[in-house]
Chain A
């Protein structure tokens, strides 16, 4: 077992620090060390996108990154999307357009949608579908997820 390393990551605006094994995955760091369980593990193989978080604003699948690789960087998770108890327009969209059933893929979907709308505030349907193409939904609710992102895009203006 390799020696532990100190990792400092800014998570949802708050500086967090922990001593972790170098082999610890970022998603386990987020879920088990920081206890932010909103980020899910769906497949463990970088297929499903349930573990998507924003690393320095870019969507990444946190089961594919080691926690030590996030050292000195900024992570945003689903817990940091709403501000002061007010839902983000994307979250509102998922609720209004019935963009979820079981909700397991939802945090990852929302993070991917966040990244998409930050880069492209007015995507067309094709661009939305491309934007969430790294996220799988097994309730097969893509139609309503696209509507949810469109709802948010219309609202953000």
Chain B
């Protein structure tokens, strides 16, 4: 199978890289987006953007920034999946999408008992507003559900926070009794964790983080945000140490500048500010998320079924499958190194970008 294409025609990878370099060099504001890649790929991609005065954004920036924004406005408390599994005697699940984001939620946290050294009783599990499809088989797990529709979640969280701190007030779509009981339950936690995904809106996350902080006045409670995939957290870490800033950072003025609105990939494409896109999705063949005409260089893990054929397309290997790679490991909340499960000759994102950089230098990239 060919690895690289220009306008759909199979070409050598170096030819594709040279074409990509030509497009990027001619661009007013090149955009490096998607960024679904391992640490080596992220370092290469961010380094390239820095060099050519471009912009970096990740396909999950919006979701990441919802929790990150709360963190950098007010701060928060968090724990890791493994620490939650080891210690939590109380679990507060919040909102929809949890099992979809963390398929091992039930196996690694809900049906597992905490280590008896830290908690004598089985975990108590509450689920606030799971939505119509909790996404897991609740028959075997004793979960107390409070509220249903995620639409009422912000109000529920506000009422819950008030109940933790002070006598109950106000009325809600659920009986006050259920909420009172939940407040008592989480107040009684020895070590509790609140679990949420980026599906929640920022206000709900802020209220939830506030609840966690308030609970720590007397007991121990921590947050367990379930981060999006495509190594979003790994790329965030890389972006952090390379630039001092998260994604949605631009280098056009010679220094890194971060602006969640100005450097949003979709907006840059729609407004025409960016006239060339390097799109990276190495974990799955995901095509760019917009449907408009912009010259594009696409690095994906296999032949994607493109709505709009990219000008340059390079098939790259999938990190951890085709080649070794360093990825975010949610269990510990740190970066970890993984061996390839099906080592192949597919080129990595890092190597593909090295070839592009080599072409920008007017020379071929160095051999391995």
- Does B associate with A? no
